[in-house]
Structure 1
Amino acid sequence: MEIKVKLNGKNVIGNVEADTVLLDWLREKGCLSVKRGCDTSNCGLCTVFMDNKPILSCSKLAVQADGHEIKTLEGLQEEALEFVGFIADQGADQCGFCNPGFVMNTIALLRENQDPTDDEIRAFLAGNLCRCSGYEGQLRGIRNFLDSRKACTDEKNSN
């Protein structure tokens, strides 16, 4: 079955079996940030954007992406670069396996809410599984990023 997808800004045509999971198709296309963690839609490692909304690619068939725009972390490097260092500074990237899912969901959160509370951050990232850090490092990294961004904005406004 042929599908046409706008993948990270490029039009891609592919042939897939009817039962091919979007996660597998994306990895075949070189999007290695999309990871398999649970195959039960519980860990967030396979998060991608479909039409700018976060979805779990392990729970979508590739044929369901036909005619849609899909963005993976590979297509959002510039947007992600802003805060990835803040997460690393907090030791929240111990093994790094969960980072792409956290980054994708943080991008989605910040697109929706530019100044979330800690509870709103926790709620938005609740579907991400991290076996190493206990989540507090990710929260501190996101909070430090938001505080830094606010300080820059305040400084610009005072000049």
Structure 2
Amino acid sequence: MKVLSLSMATEQSSFQDRIERIEKKAKETASKAPPPRVESIWQRLGYPASFIGAFFLGIFAAFLTRYIQYHLVGVPGSGQLGVQEIIGIGLASCAGFFVSFFLKDRQKEFASCVTAGVLLTTFTYHNLVWEYPDVFERVYGKDWVEFVEKLTEPSSLYVFGNVIKLS
């Protein structure tokens, strides 16, 4: 009986030693762990706001490519209308992808927002020309504004040469 009791005491002692080692290891690990991040409201809003920024980047890229196209080529000819839109979408998308390349860990999400901005601007850009012709005459020129107004209608979508009335 005494041997059994001694054996149980040894096992109990061994078990307690293991528990103490585990607790000690847990405390050491906890002390090495970085403190929890304390984010401000601005840091938490930064991620969704960056999607909005990417969308506006797409809009800006479409505006910029149209501006560059007009000043390099001028008003497109009658057979170049669909080609101009495809080139505009391609150039603006490339610009958006190039910028999103620098945001490597979030590239896919931002690229889709940039592309949405590019497409929306490409197909609805003319509505701003109808709304603010004087501004666009100063930026692009009177011949370009007349060309856009002759080709499209206000409050519409212009998709590859087809005018889709919205109202």
Q: TM-score, normalised by structure 2?
A: 0.29
Q: Larger radius of gyration, structure 1 or 2?
A: 2
Q: From the two aligned structures, give the one with the greater strand fraction.
A: 1
Q: TM-score, normalised by structure 1?
A: 0.30
